[in-house]
Amino acid sequence: MRKAVIILPTYNEVGAIEQVITEIYRITKENKNWEVHVLVVDSNSQDGTQEKVLKLIKKLPRLTLLQTEKKGLGKAYVQGFQQTLERINPYLIFEMDADLSHDPKKIPEFLKQIENGADFVIGSRYIKGGSIPNNWGIHRKIFSVGANLVIRFGFMKPQITDWTSGFRAIKSWLIKKAIPHIKNYSGYVFQVAILDFAIKHKAHISEIPIQFKDRIHGKSKINSIQYIIQTFLYVFLNSSFIKFALVGVIGFIIDFGISFLFIEKLKYAVWLSTLLSTETAIVSNFLLNNFWSFSHKRLEPRLSVYLPNFLKFNFVSSGSVLIQTLGVQLAVNLFGRKLWYIYKILIIIFIIIPYSYILYNKFIWKEK
Ligand SMILES: Nc1nc2c(ncn2[C@@H]2O[C@H](COP(=O)(O)OP(=O)(O)OP(=O)(O)O)[C@@H](O)[C@H]2O)c(=O)[nH]1
Ligand SMILES: [Mg+2]
C-alpha cells in the first residue's frame, strides 16, 4: 500500500472543514492501493478552525494539524510539504482547498492517473468536462481565464490548460526537488512556480476535469491584484520564450547600432560593417540565450560542445536572414513596396520567431 497525504491549507474555514475531512475519509477508506493521510495546515485562524480539527483528530486516524503563522498560501504549503516529507514520507502529496470548492469525490481519479504513470496530476477547470461557477462575475472569469492564457502561451505550453488550479496530486520526489525553488514564492503564485519547475524537470503531467464550486462558507482570501502582478512577473522572469524574444530585440539593437556606427560615423564599407554587426549580434544572442533564456539547459562549458553548437546557431541565424530576405521580396512583389516594413514585422513575428525558437530547442538547447 502506498501512502498519500492530502494537505488542506486553512485560514478561517470553520464552516467547511469538518465536511471536507469527513468526505475525504468516506471516499478513500475503501481504497486498497492507498493509505490516505490528511494534514491541515492552519495559519492562525481566529474562527475556531483549529479547535474543530483537534476535535476531529480524536475521532479519525491519520489526521494531523500543523499550526503556522499567516504568511501566505505558498509559505503554508511549503511548511506542510516539509513536515509531511519528514514525518510520513509518502509516495504522493495532494493539494486541495478546504472550502468545499474542490470535490473530494475526484480523489480516486487523481490516484488512477498516478497509478497510470503520471507524476503530477492537475484538476483542471478548463478542459472538457471541467467548469468554473456560472455565477462568477465577469471580471473574475476574465481574470482566471486570461491569467491562464497568458501563462500557457508565455511558457509555450498551451496543452496545460489550468496553471492556477489548487487541486493537484504530485509525487513526493518532485516536491522534494522543487522546495528550494518554490520557497521563494510565499503567495498563491507558488502554484505556477511548482508546475513550471515540474515541466522543466521533465515530470509527466496530466489533467483531469474538475467542476470548481463557489465557496458557501467563509470569505475568499485571495488578493487579486497582488496575485496578478506576481503571476505576470513570474512568467516574465521564468519563461524561456519571453527571454528569447527579448534577446532577439537586444540582438536587433546591437546589430543596428554597430551598423550605424561603422557606416555612418566611421565610414567603413557597407559589407564589412554589416558583417561585423550581424556577427556581433549573433555572438551576443548566443551567449545571452545560453546563460539566460535557456539557462536551465545551459551547454556544457567545453570547447567541443560550444563550437559545434555555435556553428549550428550561425546556421539557424543565416536561415533567418534568408527567410526574411526572400519573404520580404516575395511580399513586395505580390503587394507592392509601400508597406515593406509591415511585411517584415509580420514575417519576424509569425515565421522567424517560431522558426528559431523551435530549432534552438530542437538542435542546440535540447532537453536533457
Ligand atoms: N494555511 C493557510 N491557508 C490559506 C491561506 N490563504 C488561503 N488559504 C486557504 O487556501 C485555500 C484557497 O483559498 P481561497 O481563499 O479559497 O482562494 P480561492 O479558492 O482562489 O478563492 P474563493 O473562490 O473566493 O474561495 C482555502 O482553503 C483557504 O482557507 C494562508 O495564508 N494560510
Ligand atoms: Mg476557495
- pLDDT tens for the chain, 368 residues: list them: 999 999 999 999 999 999 999 999 999 998 999 999 999 999 999 999 999 999 999 999 999 999 999 999 999 999 999 999 999 999 999 999 999 999 999 999 999 999 999 999 999 999 999 999 988 888 888 888 889 999 998 888 989 999 999 999 999 999 999 999 999 999 999 999 999 999 999 999 999 999 999 998 888 888 888 888 999 999 999 998 889 999 999 999 999 999 999 999 999 998 999 899 999 999 999 999 999 999 988 999 999 999 999 999 999 999 998 998 999 999 999 999 888 889 988 998 899 998 999 999 999 998 76
Whole-angstrom Cα distance, residue 143 to residue 139? 6
Q: Is 119 in the pocket of ligand 1 (CB under 6 A)?
A: no
Boundary-marking domain end, from 186, 210, 236 = 236
Nearest CA to ligand 1 atom 13: 221
Tell whether 260 and 195 lie within a shared domain. no
Nearest CA to ligand 1 atom 26: 97
Q: Is 101 in the pocket of ligand 1 (CB under 6 A)?
A: yes
Question: H or E stretch including 347?
Answer: helix 340-347
Tell whether 87 and 175 lie within a shared domain. yes
CA angle, residues 113, 197, 199, in degrees to nearest 5 = 50
Q: Is 79 in the pocket of ligand 1 (CB under 6 A)?
A: no
Tell whether 207 and 257 lie within a shared domain. no
Tell whether 232 and 283 lie within a shared domain. no
Boundary-marking domain end, from 207, 236, 265 = 236
* Phi/psi at 197 (5° precision): -60, -45
Rg, C-alpha atoms of the chain: 26
Tell whether 62 and 75 lie within a shared domain. yes
Interval between CA 220 and ligand 2 midpoint (Å): 6
Number of domains forming the structure of the chain: 2
Which cell goes with 296? Answer: 536551465
Q: Is 215 in the pocket of ligand 1 (CB under 6 A)?
A: yes
Tell whether 105 and 24 lie within a shared domain. yes
CATH number, domain containing residue 136: 3.90.550.10
Tell whether 216 and 257 lie within a shared domain. no
Q: Is 16 in the pocket of ligand 1 (CB under 6 A)?
A: no
CA dist 308 to 159, 232, 285, 315, 332, Å? 32, 36, 16, 10, 36
Interval between CA 78 and ligand 1 midpoint (Å): 15
Tell whether 180 and 254 lie within a shared domain. no
Q: Hey, which of 14, 99, 192, 213 would you mutate to test ligand 1's pocket, going by the most ligand atoms within 8 Å of its Cβ?
A: 99
Looking from the CA of residue 98, the nearest atom of ligand 1 is 27
Tell whether 192 and 112 lie within a shared domain. yes
Residue range of the domain that includes 302: 240-364
Boundary-marking domain end, from 210, 236, 262 = 236
Tell whether 144 and 288 lie within a shared domain. no
The model's pTM: 0.85
Q: Is 29 exposed, middle or buried (0-12, 13-18, 19+ CB in 10 A)?
A: exposed
Nearest CA to ligand 1 atom 12: 97
Q: Is 13 in the pocket of ligand 1 (CB under 6 A)?
A: yes
Tell whether 209 and 245 lie within a shared domain. no
Tell whether 94 and 166 lie within a shared domain. yes
